[in-house]
Chains A and B, each alone.
Chain A
Amino acid sequence: SYELTQPPSVSVSPGQTARITCSGDALPKQYAYWYQQKPGQAPVLVIYKDSERPSGIPERFSGSSSGTTVTLTISGVQAEDEADYYCQSADSSGTYEVFGGGTKLTVL
């Protein structure tokens, strides 16, 4: 079955830039999405179609794509950005959706 691979954890100091990667063989063919989840809450979409930002999401959140890897970048990280982040995409046929294993962002 298709898998997306994320690093388990990323740590940054406030004001620095955090980069979270997600790798998958079908990413050149399928859009990627990023979700933020804080403890006890439902996930929130922060990036769609690789690099688009939904309304209401701060400009410090951005996404990019290169080959089989997509990256979520959070510029000028704030304490409130501490959360779990998940990438999501589909297999090459578009039939099955999949989430990455999640990355815990810690703001030091």
Chain B
Amino acid sequence: GAVVSQHPSWVICKSGTSVKIECRSLDFQATTMFWYRQFPKQSLMLMATSNEGSKATYEQGVEKDKFLINHASLTLSTLTVTSAHPEDSSFYICSAWDRGGTDTQYFGPGTRLTVL
């Protein structure tokens, strides 16, 4: 299947700092990428839909000024957690939709964020 990478795989930061997470589709172009958040033993919670060249669409209850999303190219989307606080600690997972190929969604390996 197609490959989606995320970087970093884990990050520890101090409260008040900003953290950027990258999501790349390695072998296909993705006009649409998604960002999810997952709490322990729970399902994936969609945070936002990232569309190349346009503004992201955020789900209800997700602060767009806190979770900045940039989808500047067909293979890269970034999520920046601004002014992170301990409650932002979570497992963040991105996915990319291979519309031009298999027409399905592939997930990255996830990023574990810990805010001290």
Instruction: Answer yes or no: do A and B interact.
Output: no
B residues with a Cβ closer than 8 A to A are none
